[in-house]
Amino acid sequence: MAHRTFRFLSLGAASIGLVLSLCQSVVQAYNARTDIVLDRLTNETFDGLKQRAEVIARAAAQRSFDRDVLISDVSVNILARHNGSEMPIMTLGVSRLNWQNRPDVRRWATYYKSAQA
């Protein structure tokens, strides 16, 4: 009787191990990318547009991390639209760990000087 119980327990433990290993292999972190186009407001300075872009990029990054715990990295591209043309202003690229330690857009953003022209 003890031999049967041991065999049953061994089979059960092996089955649980197989299920857990299958579940672990399915879970993967991934990157989230968001593209946002801002219309430049009448009489808005470039500094004002840049500040607005930073606020929106910060909210988009935080929302992405909050929405899905499997997201490991976020990329937020901000473009400005003016007179029918679109031009990139900035890209915020940050890992979850870096964002948790320092949620500062200016630290993790790349700014495009050509957008100022």
CA distances from 43 to 35, 39, 47, 56, 114 (A): 24, 12, 12, 20, 19
CA-to-CA distance for 40 and 79, rounded, in angstroms?
10
pTM, two decimal places = 0.74
Q: What is the pLDDT of residues 22-71, one digit of tens each?
A: 455 556 788 999 999 999 999 999 999 999 999 999 999 999 999 999 99
